[in-house]
Amino acid sequence: MGHTPAGMEKVRVSVVVPVYNAMPYLKGLLLSLVDQDLPVDQYEVIAVDDGSTDAGPALLDDAARTHPQLRVVHQENTGWPGIPRNRGLDLARGTYVFFADADDEMGSEALRRMVDFADEHGSDVLVPKMVGRGGRWVRASMYASTQVDADLETVFQTLTPQKMFRRSMLLEHQIRFPEEKVRLEDGMVLAHAYLKARRVSLYADYDCYYLTARDDGGNISGQRFDPEGYTWSIAEVSRIVSENDPDPARAGRIILDLYRRKCLKFYEPARWSRMPPARRTAFVRAHQEFIDRWIPPELEATLEQRSREVSALVRAGDEEGLLASAQARLEEPLSGALLVGGRWVFRGGLELTLEIHGGRVGGTARPLVLEIRRRDGDVVDTVALPDGVPVAQELGRSGVSRRTVVLQSALFRSDDQQVLDLRVFVEGAVERARVAAPLVSVLPAAHRGVRPYVTVQGNLSIEVLPG
């Protein structure tokens, strides 16, 4: 079944959305797509329902009756997003095509800003600024500035499908999603597109796309997989890079970074220590094969020291050495606290999301406390931090967790102007770590005489006005 609106022979951009049991997240995505400030006759949304068994199909059909830019296709379940994405691509009529996921959302100005930018600069691939929600990790440093000609080694650090492509470029090079059930199928598409595009751009002037971590664990990236198949997919992306990049040295660096991010992450101490022995053996054997084909010793030697040491143990198949190394590194003292999110909540409370580095003793996490202290004065309050959610990490960043706490409005009542500084400490310890705020963009705006700000040393402080 499909709904095809009349009077839309040509549009500027087509948004393709594979949908499978995505409720209730699908509601947020649809609202964000029909609320775009791009004129309705300039874009289309093609939702391909891949045999959903929840209320999603009915929601799509109802929305299509009142929103002419929405087209809905229903099909039997295929079990993987490749076929729905390809079907949407076949139906697309836009100059550009953007692949969204049903459990995410888009900023209301995203489509207009992206197509205007790509039109102005002739971009074949546009990488939009993405923001993580619900603990979904995003490499925020990538989006420090807009780049008309993006550095390929930088954009290869994002291989998720949420990019905007010139449709004629995809058709010319026959770039399509693999339709079998393989991991990193989107990475294979992105590798081809990045290297075939005449221009790849990165747009960082607006929060275009919000990646969501589902409460039900339904993100494909969070589902269990077999080490051999996953490593095969990394090797396939590496093959595509090697065969299509005209610069062999750059191809080697891209493959090395792919290996560092996608393979060596499994040897992060907390992860490796709790992994069943049979699974550890499967990873080591699969990665040995990958190293033999794609990581020559001279390339491995350019890794930073910790990664290089672990890679050498993998190359040698030394499982005992890997386990001993991981267990030794589980002793992680508190080394830092970063503000990664902040917002005002009910009745003037200030919600802070902190990334905590360390705080482990003897391999177990100790209770952490947030201390709020007047500048050069007394402690105003201490707040126990809730249990942390482990952060998707790279090698060498063990013991990293994300914790969200709400500072009640009563903390900000004062008869005179004051500045509050925030520190984190392990319960029972003397050492304190100031809460750093490396990204000004995560600070909430001033509210009712309370202004969070970043000090010249890069730390978080809160100015409170009397009243």
Cβ atoms of 356 and 403 within 8 Å: the answer is: yes
Measure the CA dihedral 111/115/118/124, to 10°. 80
Judgement on whether residues 249 and 140 belong to the same structural domain of the protein? no
Q: Please indicate, yes or no, if residue 228 is contained in any of the structural domains.
A: no
Same domain, 261 and 142: no
Residue 307 lies in a domain: yes
- pLDDT (tens digit per residue) in 322-331: 998 887 766 5
Would you say residue 347 lies in a domain? Answer: yes
In whole numbers, what is the pLDDT of the chain averaged over residues? 89
Calculate the dihedral angle through the C-alpha atoms of 321, 326, 332, 338, rounding to the nearest 10 degrees: 130
User: In DSSP terms, which residues pair with 133 in a beta bridge?
Assistant: 212
Domain shared by 266 and 218, yes or no = no
How far is it, in rounded angstroms, from Cα 397 to Cα 312? 19
Name the pLDDT band for 395 (thresholds 50, 70, 90).
very low
Q: Do residues 161 and 30 share a domain?
A: yes
Residue 378 falls inside a structural domain: yes
Both 26 and 169 in one domain: the answer is yes
Q: Which domain range does residue 104 map to?
A: 11-222
Q: What are phi and psi of 439, to 5 degrees?
A: -115, 110
CATH number of the CATH domain containing 455: 2.60.40
Is the CB of residue 197 less than 8 Å from the CB of residue 223?
Answer: no
Give the number of other Cβ atoms within 10 Å of residue 431's Cβ.
11
6 within domain boundaries? no
How far, in Å, CA of 182 to CA of 403, rounded?
33
In this structure, the answer to whether residues 285 and 360 fall within a common structural domain is: no
Evaluate whether 63 touches 5 at the Cβ level (below 8 Å): no
For residue 389, pLDDT beyond 90: no
Lowest mean per-residue pLDDT among 27-31, 71-75, 282-286, 385-389: 385-389
Q: What secondary structure letter does DSSP report for 367?
A: P
Question: How many structural domains compose the chain?
Answer: 3
Q: Output the DSSP codes for 75-125.
A: E---SSSHHHHHHHHHH--EEEEEE--TT-EE-TTHHHHHHHHHHHHT-SE
Q: Tell whether 22 and 122 lie within a shared domain.
A: yes
| Three-class SS of 212-272 | ECCCCCCCHHHCCCCHHHHHHHHHHHHHHHHHHCCCHHHHHHHHHHHHHHHCHHHHCHHHH
In a domain, 2, yes or no: no
pLDDT band at residue 456 using 50, 70 and 90 as cut-offs: confident
Q: Which backbone phi and psi does 114 adopt, to 5 degrees?
A: -70, -45
Considering only CA atoms, which of 22, 23, 16 is closest in space to residue 83?
Answer: 16
Q: Are residues 319 and 353 in the same domain?
A: no
The structure's pTM equals 0.72
Contact 235, 290 (CB under 8 A): yes
Domain C-terminal end among 288, 307, 328: 328
Q: What is the pLDDT of residues 221-262, one digit of tens each?
A: 545 679 999 999 999 999 999 999 999 999 999 999 999 999
Strand partners, 370: 383, 424
Q: How confident is the model at residue 347 (pLDDT cuts 50, 70, 90)?
A: confident
Q: Assess if residue 424 is contained within a domain.
A: yes
Q: What CA–CA distance (Å, rounded) separates 238 from 260?
A: 12
Taking only the tens place, the pLDDT of each residue in 59-112 is 999 999 999 999 999 999 998 899 999 999 999 999 999 999 999 999 999 999
The reply to whether 357 falls in a domain is yes
Q: What SS3 state is found at 430?
A: coil
How many whole angstroms separate alpha carbon 57 and alpha carbon 274? 40
In a shared domain, residues 214 and 248: no
CATH of the domain at 128: 3.90.550.10
Residues 6 or more apart in contact with residue 348 via CB below 8 angstroms: 409, 412, 447, 448, 450
Are residues 153 and 198 both part of a single domain? yes
Q: What residue has token string 């770039």?
A: 175
- Distance of alpha carbon 424 from alpha carbon 42, whole angstroms: 50
What's the average model confidence in pLDDT over 340-361?
82
Predicted local confidence at residue 3, as pLDDT? 43
pLDDT attached to residue 424: 92
Tell me what the mean pLDDT of segment 338-365 comes to: 78
Is 175 found in the same domain as 53?
Answer: yes
Render pLDDT for 27-36 as a digit per residue (tens, 0 to 9).
999 999 999 9
Do 299 and 361 lie in one domain? The reply is: no
Alpha helices in 9-55 (DSSP H): 25-34
Cis peptide before 57 (omega within 30 of 0): no
Starting at the edge strand that comes first in sequence, how are the strands of the sheet with 125-128 ordered?
A: 70-75, 43-50, 11-19, 94-99, 164-166, 125-128, 200-203
Given pLDDT bands bounded at 50, 70 and 90, which one contains residue 439? confident
Q: Which of 210-214, 355-359, 423-427 is the most confident on average?
A: 423-427
pLDDT at 224: 63
